[in-house]
Amino acid sequence: MAEAAYAAAQQEVEVQLQRAEETGPEDMLAADGYIFAAPENLAALSGEMKAFFDRSYYPLLGKIEGRPYAQMICAGSDGDNAARQTARIATGWRLKQVQDPLIICTHAQTEVEILAEKTIPYADLEQCRTLGSALGTGLALGVF
């Protein structure tokens, strides 16, 4: 999902694709906008994404206000709680949400399905590409 959004966004603006565990406040300060992509685990954000927000929240408070963001959640059921968690953090940073959360549901409910590598259908990846392109175009045109 993140790679699809990245590929589309890079057609419009210079972008970075980074894992949450490798990203810190300095990376956020260097960016003009953000796409937060995360799995939902046990009805919450993944631990790595939560750790990123934990280590970045206070160092960025008051420094990135007004920047645009979008989010993508990969969930086994509904993804709503992970999306709410991300939105709440973004609200604290005073980021500007540029679209509703994109939640892709894999419907993985059994242990085997949950632990298996996921293949995201083409139509869902197209939604990710559209999100990346839209954010990239908005940044390139100065809309955000």
- Domains of the chain by start residue, with CATH: 2-137 (3.40.50.360)
Q: What pLDDT does residue 115 have?
A: 87
> For residue range 102-140, what is the model confidence (pLDDT) as tens digits?
999 999 988 998 888 899 999 999 999 999 999 999 999
- Taking 90 as the threshold, does the pLDDT of residue 77 lie above it? no
Distance CA 24, CA 53 (A): 9
Distance CA 132, CA 39 (A): 17
Reported as a pLDDT band with limits 50, 70 and 90, residue 66 is very high
- Taking 90 as the threshold, does the pLDDT of residue 34 lie above it? yes
Cβ-count burial 111-140 (b if 16+ within 10 Å, e if not) = eeeeeeeeeeeeebbebbbebbbbbbbbbe
